[in-house]
Amino acid sequence: MGAIQVTQEQHISVVTIDDAERYNAMSLSMWIDLKQAFDTIEGDAQVRAVILRGAGEKAFVSGANISEFETQRNSEASVAHYNQSVAQAQEAITRCKVPVIAAISGICYGGGLGLALSCDLRYASPASKFRMPAARLGLGYGYKGMKSIVQNLGPTAAAEAFYTAKVYGALEAAHMGIVNAVHDNVFEHCAEIALQISQNAPLTVQAAKQAMLCIADGDTSQISRIDQAVDTCFKSSDYAEGRKAFAEKRLPKFTGH
């Protein structure tokens, strides 16, 4: 049975979607557990970056576990519950206070692509493959799911990906904006990116993420909250440490205070 595994080293959490035998296909319980994992990370002041990956190298996430559809998506109520669980997991990743990095190796289809697009940064191995197969399965996509695809790929690329259900290779995915870049050792690269983030001022990174989310949503009601977060940065001991470290030409030691 699939599971969500969470490990932590210093200020970096690694969340692993673990059902390698089924190419890390997501069951309903895994969607629920994934949200809970990110809820826990949200409350952990020590975490400064998260890596999201699939178990093994053959798949990030191959999509939903279709074998469950007859029991978990067979009525209006069960479909609504399932879709809500998926949306809540993706929203928890998008709204996570710290940057989330998708380390993609192998298959990234359907729900896996939706998960990847919920992350702040995405990197892929050369053998990775991407696909939005909803039109081959007769599945409907709601506003939020489609919004994420359009925001990341742009309207014309999103239209092609969704209407044709074609498979894209890693380099084509990078060109389209599905991933930031392609790396031979994607897990090592993502660990390096996470380390770089974790060494920067946490309050600054978190304030920047808040601002970027509000810009993406067009939510001007949150401007005062963002201004407050920026003001907190300037009043923090980390701001003093950053200036001091710059003057002394050394790596700063930030505490998040």
Tell me, what's the pLDDT at 73? 63
Residues of the chain scoring pLDDT < 50: none
pLDDT at 74: 65
CA separation for the pair 146, 161 (Å, rounded): 11
Return the bridge partners of 102, or none.
52, 122
CA atoms within a 13 Å half-sphere pointing along the CA-CB vector of 91? 9
Orientation of helix 202-217 relative to helix 237-248, angle to 10°: 110
The pLDDT value recorded for residue 8 is 95
Strand partners, 124: 104, 182
User: So what's the pLDDT on residue 222?
Assistant: 85
Residue 72: per-residue pLDDT: 65
Q: How far apart are CA 43 and CA 40, in angstroms?
A: 5
Strand ranges of the sheet holding 129-131, from the earlier edge strand across to the other edge: 59-61, 107-109, 129-131, 167-169
CA dihedral 194, 63, 164, 74 (to 10 degrees): -140
For the stretch 203-245, pLDDT in tens is 999 999 999 999 988 888 889 999 999 999 999 999 999 999 9
Q: What is the pLDDT of residues 121-139, one digit of tens each?
A: 999 999 999 999 988 888 7
Give me the pLDDT at residue 78, please: 78
| Six token digits for residue 49 | 């970056």
Task: Write the Ramachandran bin of 128: left for phi over 0, alpha for psi from -120 to 50, otherwise beta.
Answer: beta
